[in-house]
């Protein structure tokens, strides 16, 4: 299970954690402050 997740991450370009992948395919690596994350999630 962990290896499957690791391999999926490798396929989509994740090279570290944390990492967010949005529906549009955009990848946001690293820490995102809460206020910015709320904006990104349109909350």
Instruction: Tell me the residue length of the chain.
Output: 43
Q: What is the pTM of this model?
A: 0.65
Would you state the pLDDT for residue 30? Answer: 93
Residue 23 in tokens:
């529906």
pLDDT band at 13 (very low <50, low <70, confident <90, very high): confident
Average pLDDT of the chain to the nearest whole number: 91
- 19-37 pLDDT, tens digit each: 999 999 899 999 999 999 9
CB 27 within 8 A of CB 14: yes
CB 29 within 8 A of CB 38: no
């Amino acid at each position: 299970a962990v290896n499957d997740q690791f391999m999926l991450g490798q396929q989509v370009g994740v090279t570290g954690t944390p990492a967010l992948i949005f529906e549009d395919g955009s990848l946001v690596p690293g820490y995102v402050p809460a206020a910015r994350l709320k904006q990104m999630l349109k909350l």
